[in-house]
């Protein structure tokens, strides 16, 4: 019996019950859709004496967020790339891009509500007259949103941001629908949730390693540094899996995307075997991948990866629609990162170094108070 089939051991190490959170992923998607549906978008919003926001069809979209709170925007951007008539950008900075103005729709996304980069972006967006929507469970972002009276999606509390993906993704889609940016095919959303339910039965702790893809992936990665290669709609998914290995498994990881990696990353694999053999490459595959991408993946695998990497693993997406295929790969990777933590005997929940960094940064800067003062200057 694999050590990942010892349910008592899993429960003992997973003290915060992350496996249970992962199992509720499909239901969280349904709840997130409903929360987005219930959001009211005003036609006009007055802020103080001088600022006024007019809601309508935007010219561009900026999703402000960091870490797990930004991944929803990244996946949304990849998914809608072929159908969205306007550009979507994910902003992981303190200030918005120069083009952001009153025709920009700005999503301020912070699960905790206390992410200083996102709050800074919100205040910047207020001053530029952007259309504003905030997504959070609590914190300063909720405080600022209530004072501004901007549309606010209230999320359930006490979830680690990286496990709140459905709530950081589906409400954004619902807002785009309300503003007439896209008209999503609901069959696609429904299929995605159904596929997630099927995969849950296959990757949950009770499912034995012999037929559990996530457990098998964790065992293959153990003792190495995982590199995830995606393409197209799997760019944000590859980044998501990479960060899940970082935060859940507490290990280094990286990600890249085809075809770009063929113009730089591939040369790094010509280095000494004593270095390259420490890496396990996870290739995200799709039976519907275009012929040119398929050729690049196969040639890269044959000429370089199979000769130089410690292991090469392929994960195939499932489902007919793009959304189902993207989320299917993500779900397998999410669970694999939790199982890898179990293999290392590490509780996947705590992220102590990030917490310590935030505490230390707070000692050195009073940015939240400065942002509160900037906001006050517009509300008085």
**Segment 88-117 mean pLDDT:** 96
3-state secondary structure at position 330: helix
Q: Which of 147-151, 214-218, 234-238, 367-371 has the lowest mean pLDDT?
A: 367-371
Distance between CA 327 and CA 139 in Å, rounded? 29
Structural domain contains residue 216: yes
pLDDT of residue 359: 73
Same domain, yes or no: 335 and 373:
no
pLDDT single digits (tens) 250-278:
999 999 999 999 999 999 999 999 999 99
β-pair type (88-91, 152-154): unpaired
Q: Which residues are catalytic?
A: 247, 263, 358
pLDDT of residue 1: 66
Q: pLDDT tier at 245 (50, 70, 90 boundaries)?
A: very high
Q: pLDDT tier at 10 (50, 70, 90 boundaries)?
A: very high
Indicate the helix (H) or strand (E) that contains 167: helix 165-178
Same domain, yes or no: 262 and 278:
yes
Same domain, yes or no: 193 and 337:
yes
pLDDT at 334 over 90: yes
> Residue 7: exposed, middle, or buried by beta-carbon count in 10 A (0-12, 13-18, 19+)?
exposed
Q: Are 128 and 54 in contact (CB under 8 A)?
A: no
Structural domain contains residue 32: no
B/e letters for 121-155, b = 16+ CB within 10 Å, e = fewer, are bbbbbbebbbbbbbbbbbbbbbbbbeebebbbbbb
Same domain, yes or no: 236 and 195:
yes
Structural domain contains residue 115: yes
pLDDT single digits (tens) 283-333:
999 999 999 999 999 999 999 999 999 999 999 999 999 999 999 999 999
pLDDT single digits (tens) 141-193:
999 999 999 999 999 998 888 899 999 999 999 999 999 999 878 899 999 99
Average pLDDT, the chain: 94
Same domain, yes or no: 110 and 227:
no
Number of domains in the chain: 2
This prediction has a pTM of 0.94
Same domain, yes or no: 192 and 250:
yes
pLDDT of residue 354: 66
Structural domain contains residue 353: no
Structural domain contains residue 24: no
pLDDT of residue 252: 97
Half-sphere exposure of 370 (CA within 13 A, CB side): 8
Structural domain contains residue 348: no
Q: Which residues contact 229 (CB under 8 A, 6 or more apart)?
A: 238, 255, 256, 257, 258, 261, 281, 282, 283, 284, 297
Same domain, yes or no: 190 and 337:
yes
Same domain, yes or no: 190 and 336:
yes
Residue with tokens 């707070």: 362
Which range of residues forms the domain containing residue 263?
Answer: 3-13+186-343
Structural domain contains residue 22: no
- CATH code, 190: 3.40.50.10490
């Amino acid at each position: 019996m694999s050590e990942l089939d010892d349910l008592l051991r899993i429960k003992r190490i997973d003290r915060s019950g992350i496996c249970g959170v992962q199992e509720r992923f499909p239901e969280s998607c349904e709840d997130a859709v409903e929360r987005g549906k219930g959001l009211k978008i005003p036609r006009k919003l007055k802020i103080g004496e001088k600022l006024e926001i007019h809601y309508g069809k935007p010219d561009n979209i900026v999703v402000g967020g960091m870490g797990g709170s930004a991944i929803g925007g990244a996946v949304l951007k990849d998914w809608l790339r072929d159908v969205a008539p306007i550009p979507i950008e994910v902003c992981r900075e303190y200030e918005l891009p120069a083009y952001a103005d009153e025709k920009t729709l700005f999503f301020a996304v912070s699960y905790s509500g206390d992410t200083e980069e996102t709050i800074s972006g919100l205040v910047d967006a207020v001053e530029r007259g952007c259309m504003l929507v905030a997504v959070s469970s609590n914190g300063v972002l909720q405080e600022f949103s209530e004072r501004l009276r901007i549309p606010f999606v209230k999320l359930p509390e006490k979830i680690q941001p990286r496990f709140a993906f459905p709530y950081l993704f589906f409400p954004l889609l619902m807002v785009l629908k309300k503003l007439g940016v896209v008209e999503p095919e609901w069959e696609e959303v429904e299929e995605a949730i159904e596929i997630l339910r099927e995969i849950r039965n296959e990757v949950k702790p009770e499912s034995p390693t012999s037929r559990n893809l996530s457990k098998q992936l964790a065992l293959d990665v153990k003792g190495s540094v995982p590199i995830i290669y995606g393409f197209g709609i799997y760019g944000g998914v590859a980044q998501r899996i990479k960060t899940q290995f970082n935060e859940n498994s507490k290990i280094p990881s990286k990600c890249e995307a085809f075809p770009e990696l063929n113009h730089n990353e591939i040369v790094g694999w010509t280095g000494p075997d004593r270095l390259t053999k420490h890496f396990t490459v996870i290739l995200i595959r799709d039976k519907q991948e275009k012929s040119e991408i398929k050729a690049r993946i196969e040639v890269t695998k044959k000429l370089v990866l199979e000769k130089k990497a410690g292991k090469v693993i392929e994960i195939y997406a499932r489902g007919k629609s793009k959304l189902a295929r993207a989320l299917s790969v993500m779900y397998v990777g999410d669970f694999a990162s939790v199982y890898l933590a179990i293999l290392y005997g590490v509780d996947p929940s705590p992220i102590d170094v990030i917490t310590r960094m935030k505490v230390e940064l707070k000692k050195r800067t009073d940015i939240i108070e400065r942002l509160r003062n900037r906001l006050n200057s517009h509300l008085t």
